[in-house]
Structure 1
Amino acid sequence: MKPWSSLALLSILVPSALCISNYSATCTIPAGNGSDDAPAIRQAFHDCGNGGHIVFQQNTTYNVDTVLQLHNLSNVQIDLLGTILFSTDVRYWIQHGSFYWFQNISIALEFSGDNITIDGHDTGIIDGQGQVWYDLALAIGGLYGRPIPFSLRNAKNSVAKNFHIKQSGKWNFVIIESQNITADNIVLTSLSDDYQANPGNLGNTDGFDTLYSDDIRIQNSYIDSGDDCVSLKPGSTNIQITNLTCVNTAGIAVGSLGQYEGQFDLVENVTATNVTLIGSRNGAYVKTYMGKRTYYPPQGGGNGTGAVRNVAFSNFNIQNITAAPVLLQQCSHWAGWDVPACADYPSTGFTFQNITWTNFTGWSNEEVGTEEVSLACSPKSTCVDLSFSGIDVKPYNGSAATYTCTNVDGLSSGCQAANVTTDS
């Protein structure tokens, strides 16, 4: 029998994965036939997930109808050459997605382990078929069960690169409780059919999210997602963001923090540089919940505490922004009925220290007016060493830009250096 015949026979006898001797083992996942390919994918990761090589074939669509929890991986190379296509079975995903407690998020595909490399070689695609979720949620970001199509969860020393995530049901790419992660050359697009008529229909389709993770690099990527381009959520430390293009997003965000009453949220040691924002709602901004819980997470919340320290935003090119490019606000809240005024319940117990915005250029549209800098700290928070320089985002009508600073130590209401008196 010829060698290729032996391989063909093996693929018939072992339909879950074709294992060829290379690495410790190589598993090429067979082409799907329209049924759920998740069992074959799970088998490949079982057989080759430790020291092995796993291949999603090029020009092949893998239908995924059931959740993929690919855990306990080690020293594995994953070549995502084809397309992973998630089902639109709303009932299934609401009932069976991989649950994580923060904002009750649900994950459709997650990887965990040590030394994982996922390489799409510029052909790999993960398709969340999110339109069904956009139509169902109608911008309710916290609607239970909206599936996240890609997560590194409890992973370390790992790389994800060179692939495209499209039409995510919720956040696109989330890193949870992980360390030493690189996301490189990733394309994220979530585009609702009726975006032009109803741009808010997407709701919570963030590009990248980090959560309780350390030593993260997000670089060389393109995001057109309808919500935050990158959102650094609680526990995000030592984060580097470099060379991003963000289209129709809400900008680069720290937060929202303080959503969970009585919980302390920390974000520190962050750099974000060389970022282009096109049609963005915000620039580089920090946001926290107000100082009174209104309803409960995932939609509601508030009255948490926290700290944001050592954050540097630099070299932002901003085109057609609709809010102040330099922004700190402490008034996130549930947008339902009977919401108290932020002034009545200001955020309490937050510290903002050593946050800088440097070299922002571009232009804003008529919705923002002339506001260029807006730093609104709560009177019950501590804001020290906040500074900006080289901010040149021109108002659409050529008017002089305005600056507003509230409760920022060392800055006047017009954001000019103020006299600081210290006790001797």
Structure 2
Amino acid sequence: MASILSFTTFCLSLLLTALVVMARSPPSKIYDVRKFGAVPDGRTDNRKAFLKTFNEACQYKGQSHVVIPKGTFLVSIVEFVGPCRGPINFYLRGVIKAGAGIGNGKGRWITFRHINRLTVTGGGTFDGQGETAWHHNDCSQNPNCPSLPISIRFDFVRNSLVSGITSLNSKNFHINVMGCTNLRFKGIRIIAPSESPNTDGIHIGLSSKILISKSIIATGDDCISMGPGSRKIHVRGVWCGPGHGISIGSLGKYPDEDDVSDITVKDSVLQGTENGLRIKSWASSHECKVFNVLYQNIIMKDVNNPIFIDQQYCPSGGCDNSKASSVQIHNVRFQKILGTSKSKEVVKLRCSSRYPCRNIKLSNIDISYRGPHGPGESVCLNVNGRSTLQKGGSCAF
């Protein structure tokens, strides 16, 4: 009987503690941008109203909701900077539209920085108006080309979620992830024409525990690109195309770049992309490593270069190819990659002669080439590993 009374007392104590905590927690609070002066006419610059709304919400100790209702809100360059005192929900129902042209050359439009427990959701759209600026992108010929704005930056954001929003026609990258931890992207849409330059869907660098799932990315450059310092990145259920595929790199351009490791890409579809699953490092590069990478259960539909390791990456020419890449790639698995290729070379593993790829494993690869030049082939240079290809030639490691 004593033990029963003791247990009952313990349960009542827990219940009372929970009730006290709930009583002390302030209720959630809504901050509508219109109440801070925002005008949804598509012409008025709402930067100051948005910034004031966010700053007020950021200082609230409880759950705050920054609400952007239906309508089109023109917003110039704005930075939403924490830390905030409580969780904050950026709830976008309408359209946030960038100004036309190249902006002020600072390379950014909407930035979320130093925020913990941020949610960006609501089903609305970030419209970058990229079509007004893409013709200024002549960087391959002009070293003094203007820096076009990235649509949405997440800098040093932790324990956060981006869900159900659309990024439309960015001028540069759609989304840039830098210095973030435990950031999830779920059910988002990223849309730009195939000819739009440098409109990477999601670019990741110096970040860990990033999840991208159940999303559609159709753009003019890499659907997802993972740069130096990308660790524990998980991509699943993504539709990619048009675009340049899902890429690791490019790597080794600068000294002291952080390694890329523990990358998983699975259960996804690539259609009509310029590349499929690609790891790229610059020719004559600086040292860094790529390791522990898994590509699994991927469907290719008319993809150029479906499986591609390129350690002589040099998109604009003029690179020094006299020295081999110093990027070491090892422990990479390609499992159950199925579909069709637009290029005869279905598998291209062009690794470094200085640091050959190690422990590369290909299994259940069934990619057909139906072009005019016969069956598909595989090209494998400076590779150590194992392959069991069903279609697409074979690699003799």
CA distance in 2, matches of 1:174, 1:56: 23
Q: Output the aligned Cα RMSD.
A: 2.1
> Residue 401 of structure 1 aligns to which amino acid in structure 2?
G
Offset at residue 129 of structure 1 (A): 0.1
Q: How does 1:299-310 map to 2 (within 5 A)?
A: 303-310=285-292
Of the candidates 87, 90, 94, which is equivalent to residue 99 of structure 2? 87
Provide, for residues 143-165 of structure 1, a one-character-per-residue CA deviation record: whole Å limited to 9, x for no partner: 43211111211110000100100
CA distance in 1, matches of 2:203, 2:27: 32
Offset at residue 65 of structure 1 (A): 2.1
CA contact (8 A) 1:230 1:252 kept: yes
Of the candidates 68, 78, 102, which is equivalent to residue 67 of structure 1? 78
Offset at residue 68 of structure 1 (A): 2.8
Match of 2:147 in 1: 145
> Residue 328 of structure 1 aligns to which amino acid in structure 2?
I
TM-score by length of 1: 0.79
Q: How does 1:161-172 map to 2 (within 5 A)?
A: 161-172=163-174
CA contact (8 A) 1:139 1:203 kept: no
Match of 2:379 in 1: 404
Match of 1:330 in 2: 311
Of the candidates 31, 48, 53, which is equivalent to residue 39 of structure 1? 48
CA contact (8 A) 1:357 1:387 kept: yes
Match of 1:372 in 2: 346
Highest CA radius of gyration, 1 or 2? 2
CA distance in 2, matches of 1:179, 1:410: 32
CA distance in 1, matches of 2:155, 2:135: 28
CA distance in 1, matches of 2:73, 2:359: 51
Structure 1's 211 and 221: CA in aligned 2 closer, same or farther, altered over 3 A?
same
In structure 2, the residue corresponding to 1:35 is in which secondary structure?
strand
Q: How does 1:12-411 map to 2 (within 5 A)?
A: 23-30=27-34, 31-32=38-39, 33=41, 34-50=43-59, 51-73=62-84, 74-90=86-102, 92-94=103-105, 97=106, 106-112=107-113, 113-120=115-122, 122=123, 124-138=124-138, 140=140, 143-191=145-193, 199=195, 202-260=196-254, 262-291=255-284, 303-323=285-305, 325-333=306-314, 335-336=316-317, 338-340=318-320, 342=321, 344-348=322-326, 350-365=327-342, 368=343, 370-397=344-371, 399-410=374-385
Moved more, 232-241 or 110-119: 110-119
Offset at residue 138 of structure 1 (A): 4.5
Q: Which runs of 5+ in 1 are unaligned?
A: 1-21, 98-105, 292-302, 419-424
CA contact (8 A) 1:317 1:362 kept: yes
CA distance in 2, matches of 1:55, 1:67: 15
> Residue 98 of structure 2 aligns to which amino acid in structure 1?
F
CA distance in 2, matches of 1:189, 1:329: 27
CA distance in 2, matches of 1:67, 1:383: 43
Structure 1's 52 and 144: CA in aligned 2 closer, same or farther, altered over 3 A?
farther
CA contact (8 A) 2:51 2:78 kept: no
CA contact (8 A) 1:162 1:186 kept: yes
In structure 1, the residue corresponding to 2:291 is in which secondary structure?
strand
CA distance in 1, matches of 2:146, 2:198: 12
CA distance in 2, matches of 1:57, 1:83: 8
In structure 1, the residue corresponding to 2:135 is in which secondary structure?
helix
CA distance in 2, matches of 1:345, 1:133: 37
CA distance in 2, matches of 1:407, 1:140: 30
Q: Which runs of 5+ in 2 are unaligned?
A: 1-25, 388-392
In structure 2, the residue corresponding to 1:126 is in which secondary structure?
strand
